[in-house]
Amino acid sequence: MALVLNDRVKESSTTTGTGTISLAGASSGFVSFVAGVGNSNTTYYTIFQQGTNNWEVGLGTVTDATPDTLARTTVINTSAGNTTKINFSGTLDVFCTYPAVKTPDMILTAQGDILYASAANTVAKLAKGTAGQVLQINSGATAPEWATPAASGATEGFAVAMAIAL
């Protein structure tokens, strides 16, 4: 299962409640979730209830079935301002999107910050270090961290790295 984003993926639905969305086929001029995202893949989605202000943005899993479905795995934000699934009714527009909170602009907050993957599909930031620090991997080999180098080896290692780069 992979995270897949694609342009012009949109379907309608008349699913009610807070469960998995049954998809009713691609809207005119768009492709279906199965065609654009693929069976068993995850994607970011928006669900909008027509004629209301109800909407939900989240991460869901697409299933090729009869009908095709979108499981609402993780809710990121809603019109209610929380991460609780919206209890939908009526006609829904369901489309592939990229949530604003997942963009680097929403993660970076200061000059010099470094982005890294803290888990699958999860971007994290490391604030800039201080003068003289070097970037290294933490003891668990799971994330970068800043460290103050030993007085004798840091300059030599930097010189070797620069010589290799040239």
Structure confidence by residue, pLDDT tens digits, 41-100:
999 999 999 999 999 999 999 999 999 999 999 999 999 999 999 999 999 999 999 998
Are residues 47 and 112 both part of a single domain? no
Domain count for the chain, please give it.
2
List Cα–Cα distances, 47 to 86, 158, 159, in angstroms.
9, 51, 54
Q: Prior bond to 67 cis, omega within 30? A: yes
pTM: 0.69
Distance, CA of 58 to CA of 96 (rounded, Å): 10
Are residues 151 and 123 both part of a single domain? yes
**Assigned domain for 1 exists:** no
Better pLDDT: 101 or 33: 33
